Amino acid sequence: MKRTYAAPFEKYLNLADARLGTQVISVTDDWFAAADRMLQPHEPEWKEGVYDDNGKWMDGWESRRKRFEGYDHAVIRLGVPGSIKGVDIDTRWFTGNYPPSASLEACFCAEGDPAADAAWTEVLPAVELQGNSHHYHVIGDDRPWTHLRLNIYPDGGVARLRVYGIPHRDWSAQAEDEVLDLAAALNGGRALACNDEHYGRMSNILNPGRADSMADGWETARRRTPGNDWVIIALGHAGIVEEILVDTLHFKGNYPDSCQIQGAYVRGGTDGQIETQSLYWKELLPPQKLQMHQEHSFREQIRDLGPITHVRLNIFPDGGVSRLRLFGKVARGQA
């Protein structure tokens, strides 16, 4: 079953995901609930009757009631720089303690964190918030940013801040002989489309490190009709693939029987057009048997397609994959 997205930009990578190394580096006040909680990947939860020394435990960032002029803000260092397509300011479970409004600013630091006098750019003007709700806003800014500042007026709680966009990397500094994961989210890799993500988001397979659990991978529903499941990945940069890792960590009774990968160098076209074209891409990795809860490495089996920009991972007939790695070298002169 294809996932229904509340906003089209949800298909992009959440740059504010703590799993990418995103951190809150300063906050005016997080008396009731630590600001880092709003960066967690899991959905916010309500813990009935749970209190700590400062009051009701809340799954998000919550400041105390302000008794003087001003407002609260949190400065966030993104795990990977990126351009922002849209945001979701989520106030779930905050009902009588949510901020009436919020805004978002951004800046780019070539090195380190922003100084006290750093120039911030407003990417989302102040918007009204409601309690216990998602707030989706399109940004569509192509400039790369390294830091964000979430302002809440005047105080209150935010369960999650999700900042969807495209990672940015300076490929001009890339050594010609360096091998790296061309599909990694931290290198700009992006999951474009899949036929089913019933149990886990397709973008999870590009996250750094090995998966924490099955929920941190991509898993499809049980297939009851002929065919197979698939996901299409756009590489961070055109390159030549030398090694492929398909990891089924945590998937034991629900791993795919086998997998196959197709690849192509795509010039232009929309995501929808690329999905259609992928049916005819050449075979990069012939069908390979998979095992449960295991990392599979393929080198000799890879076919020479030259530089490619996209791959299609086919799994037969269905199941779960925790990570996909495509190690290779950047193709110079190719976008």
- Domain 8-167: give its CATH architecture: Sandwich (2.60)
pLDDT in tens, 280-298: 999 999 999 999 999 999 9
pLDDT at 140: 81
- Residue 334: what pLDDT? 63
Beta bridge partners of 147: 77, 107
Per-residue pLDDT tens over the stretch 101-141? 999 999 999 999 999 899 999 999 999 999 999 999 999 88
Q: Where are the domains of the chain?
A: 8-167, 172-330
What pLDDT shows up at residue 251? 97
Count of Cβ atoms closer than 10 Å to residue 218 Cβ: 30
The pLDDT score that the predictor gives to residue 301 is 98
d(CA 66, CA 156): 9
Model pTM score: 0.88
Is omega for the bond preceding 125 within 30 degrees of 0, making it cis? no
Q: What is the DSSP letter of 312?
A: E
Instruction: Using DSSP, state whether 172 is helix, strand or coil.
Output: helix
Cα distance from N-terminal residue to C-terminal residue, the chain: 33
User: Residue 1's pLDDT is what?
Assistant: 63
The burial class, CB within 10 Å (0-12 / 13-18 / 19+), for 134 is: middle
Q: What does the DSSP assignment read for 259-293?
A: EEEEEE---S--HHHHHHHGGGPEEEEEEEE--TT
Q: Whose CA is closest to 308, among 280, 247, 266? A: 266
Give the list of residues 6+ apart from residue 317 with CB closer than 8 angstroms, or none.
Answer: 223, 227, 228, 229, 256, 257
Predicted local distance difference test score (pLDDT) of residue 312: 98
pLDDT at 193 (0 to 100): 92
d(CA 212, CA 250): 8
Domains 8-167 and 172-330 share a fold: yes
CB 88 within 8 A of CB 5: no
Which token pair is 191? 């999951």
DSSP state of 5: P
Q: Which residues of the chain have pLDDT under 70?
A: 1, 333-335
* SS3 (DSSP) at 193: strand
The helix, strand and coil proportions of the chain, stated in percent and rounded to the nearest 5, come to 10, 40, 45
Exposed, middle or buried by CB within 10 Å (0-12, 13-18, 19+), for 74?
Answer: buried
Cβ-in-10-Å burial (0-12, 13-18, 19+) of 272 comes to exposed
Name residue 141's beta-bridge partners: 84
* CATH (residue range 172-330): 2.60.120.260
pLDDT of residue 4: 79
116 near 182, Cβ under 8 Å? no
